[in-house]
Structure 1
């Protein structure tokens, strides 16, 4: 399986690096059952994060026809104070700018493909919800964004990880570790997930909520 982790201008670095390292380690531990790459909507480029001057390089273009798993991070920036329009460096503003790029139709393609699992960390679910892509779907985001998630048409579930079939979402930024380990367990197997969990000296936290069969 190919996992593509999406980069966009202003992404949160931890949302990317945590699942990337977990999934990469899982691929090594499973003799290549899973490979992972960083991608952008525009193709190979240096992508600035929301924590200057840190950037990461996308190695390829987001391609839902190739990927079996697409992971969407949230943004780094200031939390809105609720008074007046969002500042240019606020998380809602960063996500709004990302939606104005070629990323939106590619995410729509990924969500629409039955053999692709789309996963998110933190504000990544808000990105999908704001694009109208997960209306009526169970999801979670950072606790300060749960109301906005519901306002955008998703069904907020207060769990660490929410598994709604081909949509798997995780809560605040550190939940990217738990998301990666859960995806390993689900897609590769519990033995691989346990091995990587021990390697990273990380015990998974919280609840995984699964949609009724």
Structure 2
């Protein structure tokens, strides 16, 4: 399985690094059955995150037709409405509104990323995965209507408003769409992808290596619908 992790301006570094390390270690443990790279819609470039100017380098353009997995992170920045002026900026001129997470996520819609993700989601040999606000990128692009997905708890209302069947779970498996909830869920999502695509023995070995125990049950649309408590 080849995994392309997408970088965009303002991405959250932990959303990227957590699954990258898990999947890379899975590749080592499986003798090369998993490979992972950082990509962007624009091609090879240095991409600045939303956390203190930290940058990572995309080594290639996102190939939406390559079999495997495309993983979309969320953004990091200020939490709030784009028009809101933080107290520390009052009296110092116009606020730097681009630091707000909704703006950073919304800006992806002006790039080639939505079209590339639409192509990837249309292919039966591609699994699209997201961490945290990455699912909001897909939802705002109109790509998740009628699907089961999760996101950071602050973004669940937006998912619901775009026609998504919201599931408040750590990881949600909807077939060729696998979504993780909050920032650290990237660890759990990466381990689950290893278990699903390579096997539980490799996933367990990586889990032991990182001394991280996955949280919660991976939600899937299987079994009876539970009665209300």
Q: Output the TM-score relative to the length of structure 2.
A: 0.89
2:100 matched residue in structure 1? 90
After the TM superposition, which residues 9-48 of structure 1 pair with which residues of structure 2 at under 5 Å, given as runs? 9-48=9-48
Structure 2 distance, partners of 1:96, 1:81, is: 12
Structure 1 distance, partners of 2:131, 2:60, is: 20
2:150 matched residue in structure 1? 140
Structure 2 distance, partners of 1:139, 1:52, is: 29
2:127 matched residue in structure 1? 117
Q: 1:127 and 2:137 equivalent?
A: yes
| TM-superposed deviation, 1:65 | 1.6
Q: 1:179 and 2:189 equivalent?
A: yes
1:202 aligned to which of 176, 187, 212: 212
| TM-superposed deviation, 1:108 | 0.7
Give structure 1 stretches of 5+ with no counterpart: none
Give structure 2 stretches of 5+ with no counterpart: 86-95, 224-229
1:160 matched residue in structure 2? 170
Distance 1:103 1:82, change over 3 A: closer
1:169 matched residue in structure 2? 179
2:55 matched residue in structure 1? 55
Distance 1:76 1:60, change over 3 A: same
Could you list the per-position Cα deviations for residues 142-189 of structure 1 after superposition, in whole angstroms to 9, with x for gaps in the alignment? 011101111112111000000000000000000000000000000010
| TM-superposed deviation, 1:102 | 1.0
Q: Is the 8 A contact 1:80 1:87 kept in 2?
A: no
Structure with the greater alpha carbon radius of gyration = 2
| TM-superposed deviation, 1:84 | 6.1
SS in 2 for 1:88: helix
1:2 matched residue in structure 2? 2
Deviating runs (4+, > 2 A) in structure 1?
Answer: 81-88
